[in-house]
Amino acid sequence: MEGSRNSANLHFSSSFLLSHRRVNREEIEDQEKEIIAKARVLLDNNRQKKIFLEEKKKKVTMPAGRHQWESFVLFVQALLLVPGVHRVQACWIGTGPECEKAPFVPGHNLAGEGFDVVRLRRTGAYVINVKAHLSDNHTCTLCPNRFQEGQVQRLPASVLDWRPFSRCSKQLSSALHHSVESLLRSSNSLVNNNWGLGLSLDSIGHGVLGGSRSDLAKFARSQHSVDKATFALHEISCTYYSFRLADHPQLSAEFLKHLRRLPQALNSDQSKASYRRLIDTYGTHYIHQVHLGGKVRRITAFRTCLATLKGFSETEIKNCLNVELRVALGFLPANMSFSNNCDGLLKGNMSMGFYQGFMTHKIEVIGGERAGRGTLTVEVHRGAGLKADTFTKTDAYVKIFYSGMYEETETVMDNNDPVWNATYEFGSVELGQPLRFEVWDKDVLYNDMAGTCVVFPERGRHSVGCKLRKGVFYFTYTITCDAHLTGFRCGRYSPNAE
């Protein structure tokens, strides 16, 4: 997913030379046994555990300390309950031939990409080599991907800690911001707040630089220039994979070539131009840690004074917009009734997609795939009364077409009532395309088409009897929506749909 959401422990482009090591399958199992043994001792000695926790609570001055320790104990308990999960999902060291056969994990090329922290934009140029997957001893790390039917996939040599998991927030996050700077600080959340370490920015300020030339900044400033504006921010996100770069990632050949061309001293207009070109190409940082998924964010700017004159408070506007977006995303029933105030705000003040006079929207969709995707399975059952030939019985076979994919059954010889009972898996497909069947009669000189059937697949299992020119063709298709999608063509988001 090319536009997928990157979190970002982003390192400044001059700090590269770090190191890593891999763990093989035996080491993972040994570590797992050791952790479980220690966990059993800890949980069996319940009295000492309670005393230990009480003492620790007294020493911790931050309120979060108590929850951190309780979370640790809960984690250990969960580990004892499901000791096999880690082993099933664990990665291992693969041989050279195994590595060559396996495809890369999804989004493998997002880590190591350049990032411009001023524009909050990926550059498309790679600081780190994420194409190499073999280590010095011609092995690689292989991992099963549970989102792709357990397919074994390889990691780049510079990538560690790859994890597949599905986490979609079931609540919209919402906030109010009373200044452009506050909104930009919030939007910088995809970049860890230590991006300016070592850059001596105290005299300038992080807020002045981070995201200052982003599309969001341009939108916010344009609204703030008209009148005093308040910004309501609503967002929802999903994450499917996470991984990070190793401590000593190998630099890309192109980036190394550009580095070697840089002048030793920054003391002329020409030398400064060389460094600017490097930053324009590779950005100010590179992506070190990735959370792969998607995010939808809506920013609403409303003119504070005018909204007040119309009788709407800031909190009321934020809450009404929250309800509206939750209905649009399927969190709430589409026919639910709004309060009188919300009804007046959302309907009485809307014209051509904008709220008259005092509100404007900006919607950002980052990552993900288009809605309307599901897994397609086709079962070809039988034909009845297929009289394609006048003097002989039919030698029948079926062609199946969907979105550029093609399958064909075996031929049933000399039978006007052929039975195939064949199943075909088309995998994850984009819905809205025609599923086409062609029933053919195989002859010596040329083949005759007995008829065609076309359906547009919908969610669920559907058995169809399709009438041909002569006879009837019976088949079944099944559509299972992809994770977090629902609706008759899987076009609606649902946080509860797994």
Indicate whether 192 pLDDT > 90.
Answer: no
Q: Encoding tokens for residue 156? A: 């780049």
- pLDDT tens figures, 214-225: 566 666 676 666
Angle at 119 between CA 202 and CA 212, to 5 degrees: 50
Residues in contact with 163: Cβ distance below 8 Å, sequence separation at least 6, in sequence order:
241, 242, 243
* Spatial contact of 29 and 91, defined as CB atoms under 8 Å apart: no
Percent of the chain whose predicted confidence (pLDDT) is above 90: 20
Indicate whether 445 pLDDT > 90.
Answer: no
Mean pLDDT of the chain: 71
Indicate whether 490 pLDDT > 60.
Answer: yes
Distances (CA, A) of 207 to 117, 136, 183, 212, 223: 11, 43, 10, 8, 19
Report pLDDT for 276. 85
Residues in contact with 463: Cβ distance below 8 Å, sequence separation at least 6, in sequence order:
474, 475, 476
For residue 269, how many other CB atoms are within 10 A of its CB? Answer: 6
Q: Which residue has the higher pLDDT, 62 or 434?
A: 434
- pLDDT tens figures, 213-263: 556 666 667 666 666 777 777 777 778 888 989 888 889 888 999 889 888
Report pLDDT for 496. 59
* Spatial contact of 320 and 484, defined as CB atoms under 8 Å apart: no
Give the SS3 label for residue 226: helix
Report pLDDT for 335. 54
Give the SS3 label for residue 103: coil
* Spatial contact of 342 and 320, defined as CB atoms under 8 Å apart: yes
Report pLDDT for 106. 87
Report pLDDT for 491. 78
* Spatial contact of 194 and 206, defined as CB atoms under 8 Å apart: no
Indicate whether 492 pLDDT > 70.
Answer: yes
Q: Encoding tokens for residue 474? A: 């019976």
Report pLDDT for 424. 96
- pLDDT tens figures, 92-131: 999 999 999 999 998 888 888 888 777 777 788 889 988 8
Report pLDDT for 135. 84
Q: Which of 73-87, 422-436, 482-496 has the lowest average pLDDT?
A: 73-87
Distances (CA, A) of 433 to 80, 368, 394: 47, 20, 30
H or E stretch including 281? helix 269-282
Where does 373-493 sit in CATH, by number?
A: 2.60.40.150
Report pLDDT for 186. 64
What are phi and psi for residue 24, nearest 5 degrees? -85, 180
Report pLDDT for 88. 39
Give me the amino acid identity at 167: R
Give me the amino acid identity at 178: H
DSSP β-ladder status, 285-287 and 435-441: unpaired
Position 425 confidence tier, pLDDT thresholds 50, 70, 90 = very high
- pLDDT tens figures, 348-400: 554 333 445 566 666 666 665 556 788 999 999 999 999 877 678 899 999 99
Half-sphere exposure of 470 (CA within 13 A, CB side): 16
How does DSSP assign 415-440, residue by residue?
A: -SS-EEEEEEEEEEEESSS-EEEEEE
Position 266 confidence tier, pLDDT thresholds 50, 70, 90 = confident
pLDDT winner (highest mean) among 142-151, 303-312, 334-343, 358-367: 142-151
| Best CA proximity match to 7, nearest among 202, 239, 213 | 239
Q: pTM of this prediction?
A: 0.47
Report pLDDT for 380. 97
Domain boundary assignment for the chain:
10-165, 168-198+206-283+291-367, 373-493
Report pLDDT for 264. 85
- pLDDT tens figures, 127-186: 998 888 888 888 999 999 988 888 999 999 989 889 887 777 655 666 666 666 666 666
Indicate whether 201 pLDDT > 50.
Answer: no
| Best CA proximity match to 250, nearest among 18, 15, 93 | 18
Position 70 confidence tier, pLDDT thresholds 50, 70, 90 = very low
Give me the amino acid identity at 210: G
Report pLDDT for 184. 64
How does DSSP assign 185-235, residue by residue?
A: HHHGGGS-TTTTTTS--TTT-HHHHTTTTSHHHHHHHHHHHHS-EEEEEEE
